[in-house]
A and B are shown apart, each in its own frame.
Chain A
Amino acid sequence: MRQTANGFGARTRLRGAVSTAFRLSTTLVAVAVGALFLWVLVTVGWRGVLALSSSDLAAAGVVHGAASGLADAVIGSVIVVALAFTVAVPVGLVAGVFIAEVGRNSRWLGAVRFMADVLSGVPAVVAGVFVYFALGGSAGGQGLLPGALALAVLMMPMLACTTSRTLERLSPSLREAGWALGAPPWRSLIQVSMRAAAPGILSAGLLAVARVAGQVAPLLLVMPAGTEAAASPGAMMPTLHVEAYRLLMTSDPQAPSLAWTAALLLTAAITVVVWLAGRLGHLDGEEG
């Protein structure tokens, strides 16, 4: 940065202009992206509410090609996500504890961490295909349990990653304080570390639920209620996920608008869960 009498003013002005241009362009990009997402949300909200107001949720689906009313689909979605959560939580939590506490000095630590990372990138559709073939294809690969398993496959590694990250963020002095009081490691882990990390783990768990609950592809493959593929109706509940897609595809002119309602309900539920997670604690987990 030479400060010659001649060059100084022009050069400084140029540098200032570049910086202003930079500021303007990032602001513009941020506003554009915000507008884009607002557009997406308004689209789904507006179309969803329009259909909502004109029909009785419990009955409308039956008339316009859904397996049954959307009210049933809400229940189905809740059940399948809850079931997936119950399957995934023990494994995910415990694997997270291994990464952050038990296996801290293990030579497998790197490998386990890597595995959790890599697994949380498995595409939803692949999880669906895997469960479908693992449980015997058309014979047993479809139904409520396969649906929950496919979602659990996606949820497990996410929970492991977020649990370990929350535990690792605790200050080591907390753990040491537990030890100093004479607590054996397990007691210190459960009564000190886990308790301190509980809000973080809970919020991370909610976030994992929200992310996985938005995955439609696996359910479409292994829980396609209402399609001709549904072989065992007892085990095949309708879900918002599948209904949104199927209603979009039917030829009934009224049906697509109900698909928007299904999508709106799904989005709203997920937004509430994420918001709750944000209220509860740290939203710092990085996720690709």
Chain B
Amino acid sequence: MDRLVRVAACAGASALFALLAVMAVVLVDAATPALRILRLDASWDQAGTLGSAVLPSLVGTAFSAGLALVVAVPLALGVALFVTEFAPEAASRRAAIVLEVMGAIPTLVFGMWGLVVLLPWLGSTTVEAGGVGALVTAGGGVVPAGLVLAAMLVPSLSNNARKMIAAVPTSLREAAIAVGATRWEVVRHVVLPHVRSGLAGAVILGLGRSVGEAMAVVLIIGNRPFVPSSVPSTTMATELLTGLRPNLPELHASSLALLALCLLIITVVVRGVGRRLVRLSSTPGGAA
């Protein structure tokens, strides 16, 4: 019986390895036609849509995810500090569940909100008339996409930051207060240095999420896979979402698989680095 439990647990653990391995193999296999062309001929254009989609989608991904972080990090930090430092006891106890609920709102809902509230507000054409389909290929761009991503990131980011800040030893805070530090000075000189590396990790995890998010973005970014002469208006994730259909030409499907493979590699690496940092800060003695 003991053996059985042990074998089952090992099987479950190896299933995780198998999952990532199978994922990589399947995507590499599906991407082979596109990869072959890449190797034989330097021209991306031969891969059909790949040539016109990959570069803009890379730029679009980098830009929207970057903007999302720039906007979301200060907001999340503000929320986390408010909850841990100033909020009334009762509110701060409920913060976890409120942030959890906020973080579980489907990303599609953020996209829809962006579509009917943010876009008109930013001066794009109104959505209501003429069907949304028209707008999805016309309006938006990478800036509203980044803002919607930021809104999506804030709950999880502030929840992680909140936990880290709450884990700062009380004795450290008290020591600072005892030598006459104000609230701000405690935060600036004790709390923030203590959570720095963990916070960096949480931000990187957020980066991973916004790079891979398709649903919140696809509604408002515009989905024009042009080489970005002006503003890129597609990301890798939305390219996959809108591009993959049955009965595609082989090369087209294969370039999409390649795109998915790139996205998988990027998110795995980003996630790995982020986790390292978060863990580093949460193990006792590991916080530097």
Cβ contact within 8 Å between B244 and A98: no
Task: Point out the residues of chain A lying under 8 angstroms from B113, CB to CB.
Answer: 39-40, 43-44
CA distance A108 to B151 in the complex (A): 38
Are A248 and B100 also in contact (CB < 8 A) when A98-B12, A185-B2, A231-B246 are?
no
Interface residues on A, range: 35 or more
Cβ contact within 8 Å between A278 and B97: yes
Task: Point out the residues of chain A lying under 8 angstroms from B13, CB to CB.
Answer: 94-95, 98-99, 103, 108, 112
> Does A25 belong to the interface (CB within 8 Å)?
yes
A274 to chain B: closest CB distance in Å?
Answer: 5
CA distance A244 to B244 in the complex (A): 19
Which residue of chain A has the shortest Cβ distance to B259 in the bound complex? A129
Cβ contact within 8 Å between A129 and B78: no
CA distance A93 to B5 in the complex (A): 12
B282 to chain A: closest CB distance in Å?
Answer: 8
Which residue of chain B has the shortest Cβ distance to A213 in the bound complex? B106
> Does A73 belong to the interface (CB within 8 Å)?
no
Cβ contact within 8 Å between B136 and A267: no
Cβ contact within 8 Å between B241 and A220: yes
> Does B195 belong to the interface (CB within 8 Å)?
no
B92 to chain A: closest CB distance in Å?
Answer: 11
CA distance A18 to B209 in the complex (A): 34
Q: Give the segment of A56-64, A117-125, A173-181 that binds chain B.
A: A117-125
Cβ contact within 8 Å between B26 and A186: no
Are A36 and B78 also in contact (CB < 8 A) when A43-B116, A118-B20, A274-B100 are?
no
Interface residues on B, range: 35 or more
> Does B10 belong to the interface (CB within 8 Å)?
yes
Q: Mark A131-167, 1 if CB is under 8 A from B, else 0.
A: 0111001100110000000000100110010000000
Query: Which residues from 10 to 34 on chain A have a C-beta closer than 8 Å to any C-beta of chain B?
Result: 15-16, 18-19, 21-23, 25-30, 32-33
Q: Give the segment of B41-49, B179-187, B225-233 that binds chain A.
A: B179-187
Task: Point out the residues of chain A lying under 8 angstroms from B96, CB to CB.
Answer: 278, 283-284
Task: Point out the residues of chain B lying under 8 angstroms from A70, CB to CB.
Answer: none
Task: Point out the residues of chain B lying under 8 angstroms from A126, CB to CB.
Answer: 23, 212, 240, 260, 263-264, 267
> Does A80 belong to the interface (CB within 8 Å)?
no
Q: Give the segment of B51-59, B138-146, B269-277 that binds chain A.
A: B269-277
12 A/B residue pairs, CB under 8 Å, sorted by A: A21-B184, A40-B151, A41-B105, A91-B15, A92-B12, A98-B13, A102-B6, A122-B23, A125-B260, A156-B19, A214-B107, A215-B215
